[in-house]
Structure 1
Amino acid sequence: MNIKKTIDKIPGGMMLIPLFLGAIVHTFAPDSGKYFGSFTNGLMTGTVPILAVWFFCMGAGINIRATGTVLRKSGTLVLTKIAVAWGVAAIASLFLPEGGIQTGFFAGLSVLALISVMDMTNGGLYASIMQQYGSKEEAGAFVLMSLESGPLVTMLILGSTGLAAFEPHTFVGAILPFLVGFVLGNLDTDLRDMFSKATQTMIPFFGFALGNSIDLKVIVDTGLLGILLGIAVIIITGIPLILADKFIGGGNGTAGLAASSTAGAAVANPMIIANMKPEFLPAAQSATALVAACVIVTSILVPIVTAYYSGYMKKRQGKSANASSVRAA
């Protein structure tokens, strides 16, 4: 049976399929983990330890000796994405209640949800798009996008906008596994090769454990809003990313648009933040459902939009080149 090939045809399938399987179990048999106990319970409820190992392995996979071009492009995209998420959080905090909107069409929308869908790029999706529509250096710019993964950036945005206060040791605890992995991976290439391979292996286990904290009724209730929010993410983050790629990164904007997606790892952030700061618990489950919807929507739309944009820019550059040749003649 070609199970993996079938799952790979679905955008973010290795994260989303186990996540929905876990959500089905949680919705119809919420006490399954407690009933079976032991390792089964650990697998179904171990979101944080699984994410910790995943975060460590991602750090180990980053090579500090990346070229200057790659670092400039990657740094431009990462900082722009974070800056946009920070701006959206600052504005949204003026209008949205701390626990998010609880009723009506916008039920589930919260500052936590908005930050989570906008501050992390799907690095794998970006790399695959740019391998087709960009240069090798642009495709390699995903190396720093791992820095966005995990709750650290979300915590920094919440803290700097005054929406939450985190103790210094909490920030250290959030990034320490990543830093240890980063150091070990750059001290020993064999360790980097070994640990970096595990990043893909951990995804379905992480997705299943995360799904066991989600009630499918919430996903159904936030479905249309999630679709609209996914489109909004592409527009709100895509335009600044295109401009940054053009005027700072030295590209034509294609790489910027390719980075306007929501990372699959972002699905975990609302619940992780809520575990650290219980005041976010009322918004966490709905925020998780919205982020999951955004992952699907952006994974489908970003490659399509980027392909059209890349074709348009190539035609435009071709016309400019022809015009310059005519003037020179």
Structure 2
Amino acid sequence: MQVPIKRAIEKIPGGMMTVPLLLGALIAFFFPGTPKFFGSFTGALFSGGALTILAVFYVCMGASIDFKATPYIVKKGGTLLIVKVGVAMILGLIFGRYLGEAPITAGIFAGVSTLAIVAAMNDTNGGLYMALMGQYGRPRDVGAYTIMTLESGPFLTMVTLGVAGLSSFQWPALVGAILPLVIGMIIGNLDREMRAFLSKAVPVMIPFFAFALGTGLNLSQVWQAGLLGLAMGVAVVVVTGIPLFFADRLTGGNGVAGVAAASTAGNAAAVPAIVAAANPAYADAAGPATILIAACVVVTAILTPILTSWVASKVGRDVEPDAEEIASADPVIAAPAPAVGR
């Protein structure tokens, strides 16, 4: 008896991403002892599995990217980076003027601070972005995140908050984030057969990566943050998603890559504590900000794939390639990619 599992999942917006992600989050929430109980491969998948799968995902995705696409990657990634961080800086200037460093202490907005808003807005969930682009975008759009990795960490948050110089940019971490993709690009450009071989693995890894990502989400933090955390998560998607959508279209895309970047990275939850350690003026805001940002991570991890899938269904999975893309197209990467999680 055949059960149409794949077909059923694909009927859900972004199903190949959201269904495994939610499944992983629910198992981690209701059965937190699962990794320890089973151990071995199952335990490894729950504890740090997302990073391992993502590393392989980067290599395979990188293999499908032609070196001739590098100018496009710089243009696309740089534009999305500037717009995402620019929105956070504008909000930081506005809220910083009225709130200062301290959080709101009473009322329905208790816990909101300039620190929470800036940190939640300016750091994109790279794994989520790359997985979504693996489904709905071009390999070149995936590669754009190599530029967007500059968002990661507390540095840009500190710059926005006016405390630049208290945190140095850790170049080994940046290189480590880019290295798997670069290795894949080198392999794929040296051997077209390896490009074809590795490229086929990209859509297969998406549900596994999504499940592992889901096991790292803490649904209880959404409950703890309440409606305010939910509202902030929605605000991240809407406030950054709209300008990112138009920025993507201005750089030759169809807007899907911009929407896919409208999320909050998991490491953003660690930023408030680092900022507070560097500047005690933010000590009171750090605790509530961490909870709110953690809620944004969960909410955007669920909402962004759904919205990206919806936008892709309206504007199309990809735009018509321009002359430069046609000239540099490789028969392997020019072939239509499989429809995953539509």
Name the TM-score, length of structure 2 as normaliser: 0.66
Partner of 2:307: 298
Where does the alignment leave 5 or more consecutive residues of structure 2 unmatched? Answer: 276-286, 320-342
Partner of 2:331: none
> What is the distance in 1 between the residues matched to 2:5 and 2:209?
18
Matches within 5 A, 1:41-190: 41-45=43-47, 46-65=49-68, 76-94=75-93, 95=95, 104=108, 110-117=117-124, 120=129, 122-124=132-134, 126-127=136-137, 143-148=140-145, 152-155=149-152, 158-159=155-156, 161=159, 162=164, 165-190=168-193
> What is the distance in 2 between the residues matched to 1:107 and 1:124?
36
Partner of 2:296: 287
Verify: 1:262 aligned to 2:296, yes or no: no
> What is the distance in 1 between the residues matched to 2:213 and 2:101?
23
**Preserved CA contact (<8 Å) 1:59 1:185:** yes
**Preserved CA contact (<8 Å) 1:89 1:115:** yes
> What is the distance in 2 between the residues matched to 1:288 and 1:102?
23
Provide Cα deviations, 1:52-109, integer angstroms capped at 9, x if missing partner: 111222211212245xxxx776654433222101212323444479999899458685
**Preserved CA contact (<8 Å) 1:123 1:145:** yes
Verify: 1:19 aligned to 2:26, yes or no: no
2:133 partner letter: G
When the two chains are superposed, the root-mean-square deviation of aligned CA atoms in Å is 3.9
Deviation of residue 184 (structure 1)? 1.0
210-219 vs 6-15, greater mean Cα deviation: 210-219
Deviation of residue 3 (structure 1)? 0.8
Residue 178 of structure 1 aligns to a residue whose secondary structure is helix
- For residues 101 and 76 of structure 1, do their structure 2 counterparts lie closer, same or farther at Cα, with a shift above 3 Å needed? farther
> What is the distance in 1 between the residues matched to 2:196 and 2:51?
24
- For residues 304 and 17 of structure 1, do their structure 2 counterparts lie closer, same or farther at Cα, with a shift above 3 Å needed? closer
> What is the distance in 1 between the residues matched to 2:184 and 2:146?
14
- For residues 159 and 290 of structure 1, do their structure 2 counterparts lie closer, same or farther at Cα, with a shift above 3 Å needed? same
Where does the alignment leave 5 or more consecutive residues of structure 1 unmatched? Answer: 128-139, 250-254, 311-329
Deviation of residue 11 (structure 1)? 2.2
Provide Cα deviations, 1:155-180, integer angstroms capped at 9, x if missing partner: 28944944953322222112111111
Residue 11 of structure 1 aligns to a residue whose secondary structure is coil
**Equivalent pairs, count:** 279
Provide Cα deviations, 1:276-301, integer angstroms capped at 9, x if missing partner: 99738935532321321431452254
Partner of 1:4: 6
Residue 32 of structure 2 aligns to a residue whose secondary structure is coil
1:28 partner letter: F
Provide Cα deviations, 1:172-202, integer angstroms capped at 9, x if missing partner: 1121111111111111111111222222222
Residue 67 of structure 2 aligns to a residue whose secondary structure is coil
Identity of aligned residues (%): 30
> What is the distance in 2 between the residues matched to 1:197 and 1:102?
52
Residue 177 of structure 2 aligns to a residue whose secondary structure is helix
Deviation of residue 212 (structure 1)? 1.2
1:211 partner letter: G
- For residues 38 and 256 of structure 1, do their structure 2 counterparts lie closer, same or farther at Cα, with a shift above 3 Å needed? same
**Preserved CA contact (<8 Å) 1:100 1:110:** no
**Preserved CA contact (<8 Å) 1:125 1:299:** no
- For residues 75 and 256 of structure 1, do their structure 2 counterparts lie closer, same or farther at Cα, with a shift above 3 Å needed? farther
**In the alignment, which of 40, 43, 48 is matched to residue 42 of structure 2?**
40
- For residues 257 and 167 of structure 1, do their structure 2 counterparts lie closer, same or farther at Cα, with a shift above 3 Å needed? closer
> What is the distance in 1 between the residues matched to 2:215 and 2:104?
24
Partner of 2:336: none
